[in-house]
Amino acid sequence: MTALADKVALVTGASRGIGRVIADRLEDAGAQVIGLARSFTERSAGPRLEIRCDVTREDDIQRAVERMLHEVRAPDIVVNNAGAFLLKPLSDTSKSEFEEQLRVNLVGPFLVLRALLPHLARSGDTHLVTIGSVVDHRPYPENVAYGASKYGVRGLHEVLAEELRGSGIRLTLVSPGPTDTKLWDSLDPDGRDDLPSRSTMLLPTDVADAVLYAVTRPPHVNVDWIRLMPVG
């Protein structure tokens, strides 16, 4: 598949889980992928440029953007995927835990977008994708910190869409339900009655397919929001 031939895609949190699969899917579709992640070493995996970057640090982001512009060019597609997950009721959530969810899930995407916007083409081919969550529209117990951060991400997406209306830049929010990644390992959902079993969860490929669908629509079509839920 070469639907994204000649496109450059930047994916945050691209070292594992959903982000890794999104990066793979976009690359398979012909895009040149630039991956950002805290766990990357300074190397490239084949044609993919992998840059070590903590999206909560402005200096890291600035260095990553400068390197991307020097070695490749500004991206046509940006996928803000890097995230953290916490499942605790408010009474058990510390201030530092709450702030960490906001830093990674909300401040990170804000900093990435703010650094990139001056360099993005206003051509109708530029697409900003944000990975939200089902909790960005619906509250769930024990999601006070994670839910607050994802509601914020939804607000960031919706306000930026208004600010960029008519600019030629398209925006999509992808809000998946429970997705089977290593983030669930410590929670052992199969051993709890209040969580879905891993066999019933979405797969990272489901989320990646939604991203690919959104960014391969014709320039006159904008997919504003995709909500993905497991059957049942």
Q: What is the pLDDT of residue 200?
A: 81
Q: Average pLDDT for residues 134-158, to the nearest whole number?
A: 96
Of 140, 146, 151, 213, the active-site residue reads 146
Give residue 43's pLDDT: 58
48: domain range?
Answer: 8-228
**What value does the CA radius of gyration of the chain take, rounded to a whole number of Å?**
17
145 inside domain: yes
Q: Which of 42, 50, 58 is closest to 16 using CA atoms?
A: 50
Mean pLDDT across the stretch 42-62?
A: 86
| pLDDT tens per residue, range 133-145 | 999 999 999 999 9
212 domain-assigned: yes
The answer to whether position 188 is within a domain reads: yes
Residue 159 covered by a domain: yes
Q: What is the pLDDT of residue 208?
A: 98
Instruction: Read off the pLDDT band of 232 (50, 70, 90).
Output: low
CATH number of the structural domain spanning residue 57: 3.40.50.720
| Predicted confidence (pLDDT) per residue in 6-38, tens digit | 999 999 999 999 999 999 999 999 999 999 999
Looking at the DSSP assignment, which residues form a beta bridge with residue 133?
Answer: none
Q: How many CB atoms lie within 10 A of CB 223?
A: 19
User: Do the domain assignments include residue 17?
Assistant: yes
209-223 pLDDT, tens digit each: 999 999 999 999 999
Please indicate, yes or no, if residue 2 is contained in any of the structural domains. no
What tokens were used for 11?
């994916």
Q: How confident is the model at residue 187 (pLDDT cuts 50, 70, 90)?
A: confident
Q: What percentage of the chain exceeds 90 in pLDDT?
A: 82
Query: For residue 149, what pLDDT band results from cuts at 50, 70 and 90?
Result: very high
Q: Model's pTM, two decimal places?
A: 0.93
In a domain, 1, yes or no: no
Q: What percent of the chain has pLDDT over 70?
A: 96
Q: Is 146 a catalytic residue?
A: yes
- Structural domain count of the chain: 1
Sheet order of strands, 8-12 included: 43-45, 48-52, 32-37, 8-12, 77-80, 126-131, 169-176, 225-228
